[in-house]
A and B are shown apart, each in its own frame.
Chain A
Amino acid sequence: MFERGKSREWPLVVFTMTLQLACAFALVAALSDFKAAVVEAEFVRPLGIAIFPLLMGGILASCLHLGQPFSAWKSLLNLSHSRLSLEILLTLLFAVCALVNSVSWMTGRTEFRVLLDMGTFLFGLAAVVSSAAVYMVDTQPMWNSGWLPTSFLGTMLLLAGAAGAVCASSANAHALLPWFLDLAIAGGLLSCLSALWMRNLFLRLSNAKTVFVNLPEWPDRRNLGPWLSFGLWVLLAGVLPVAVAILLMLFGNSPAQTSAFQFAPSAIVLILAGGALGRRLMYWMGTALSRF
């Protein structure tokens, strides 16, 4: 029997995380073009190439969420009213831009590079914002709040900062490092803020019996699962990256900083894991709260 909260939304967790990661890569590429000469920005080449395959992976994962994956094209039939249709359209436009951009990075062509990178980022940003707007409908009080876009944008900025810092440090492009560390700090702080905002909203709504009639076990403190997910989300996609970025800024070009960057790729994996736990919690809260 189908019950709310029993459905697993992992394909959508993968989709939202890859969409934000792809947008983060596009931001790093655009920022590198903007702050350094195009030729000097070659250190972000792996990120530029990765945008399109990453995004396609996310889009394919999102199709697995559908009961009828081969009818996915029908989701574009209500562009005038449905935010979901609009999100899918913007994601497809982002994918087209990302394809051209990735090919440009792969072939090493530098004409229109700045324009392409900026365009790809702007389409990516529009896709991320629209993916947050999908959930912000007034019949869903848990999602219809500022914490959700804050969380999506925070994760994107955090991933951009972390990925940019890894590339810049590996190519000894130290001039750009402070920019990326600033991005990581801003993104991590936004993630922490959104997590606390979400928690407070949930606890407030839990007491509003006019909204939800059948509360799940959370916030029963004996049910540790959601609390554990919440803690790991705040820790991995908020507190830890911010702390590491602040330490790296303070220690400058010391050997400690250089050795710290060796662990940076695994830090991105941890941020993704933390962000995924946060998204899973988001879906769980929205779908598990049975109203009737």
Chain B
Amino acid sequence: MPSEQIAFFVDTTKCINCKTCEIACTESNGADGSLRMRRVRSFEGGDFPRVFAYNISMACNHCESPICVEHCPARAYTKRASDGIVVHDPDRCIGCRYCTWLCPYGAPQYDTTKGKVGKCNLCLHLMERGEKPVCVAACPMRAIEIGPLSEIEGRCGATISIRNLPSSELTRPACRYKVRSEALNV
């Protein structure tokens, strides 16, 4: 267990699906636009007149049981002991794409130009300079935040059990969302 797991907190009740986070991430990390390490998806449901919609912005969840770390044949992934961030080492990656098959959230993505996989590393280069990840800094609604998981878990409405997402039991994602009641997986 990392000494202090860092996690994303996304307040989906604030998210307006403007995709600024997605664009900022792609501009900053996305290998000339070929990768979308953060994506915003919109979900709709219900029957008229009781209809609902919600947006989920998601990147790598830096899971507590990361399947990419366990199964990568080249040991290209490591989970940092200090902050629990799952880091991908491109020098070790052989481009087998096994991780892209296994991750239930589609976080690792294959870069066809490099022949290697890329994924969110929580903008470590910025974090080490004391700055925020680009998605956090760019969100005009201030819907995305990062912080220690222990603190984020205590926030009002924080959950990971969301309708339409894979079961959190699989990899125990280290992120939390605040969602409307319709989006809760009940």
Contact = CB atoms under 8 A, between A and B. Distances in A.
A88 interface: yes
A77 B74 contact: yes
A70 to B, nearest CB: 9
A203 B102 CA distance: 20
Interface stretch (A99-107, A183-191, A209-217): A209-217
B97 A7 contact: yes
Interface in A182-224: 209-211, 213-214
B103 interface: yes
A81 B71 contact: yes
B70 interface: yes
A66 B96 CA distance: 5
B147 interface: no
Contacts of B71: 78, 81-84, 137
Given A2-B111, A138-B170, A292-B165, A84 B101 contact: no
A8 B74 CA distance: 22
Contacts of B148: none
B140 interface: no
Contacts of B41: 213-214, 292
B99 to A, nearest CB: 10
B185 A67 contact: no
Interface in B72-125: 72-75, 92-98, 100-106, 109-112, 114-117
Contacts of B58: 292
Chain B's interface: helix, strand, loop or mixed, by majority? loop
B52 interface: no
A291 interface: yes
B124 to A, nearest CB: 23
Interface residues of B, number: 46
B102 A137 contact: yes
Interface stretch (B7-15, B31-39, B127-135, B175-183): B31-39
A287 B164 CA distance: 18
B92 A74 contact: yes
B74 A78 contact: yes
Given A291-B104, A292-B105, A68 B93 contact: yes
B67 interface: yes
Interface string B37-59: 00101010000000000001010
A68 B97 contact: no
B142 interface: no
A290 interface: yes
B103 A139 contact: yes
A72 B105 contact: no
12 contacts: A1-B36, A2-B110, A68-B116, A77-B73, A77-B75, A77-B92, A139-B103, A139-B104, A210-B166, A214-B41, A287-B101, A291-B105
Give me the 8 closest cross-chain CB pairs, A-B, nearest first.
Answer: A67-B95, A67-B115, A74-B74, A75-B73, A84-B73, A85-B73, A139-B104, A82-B73
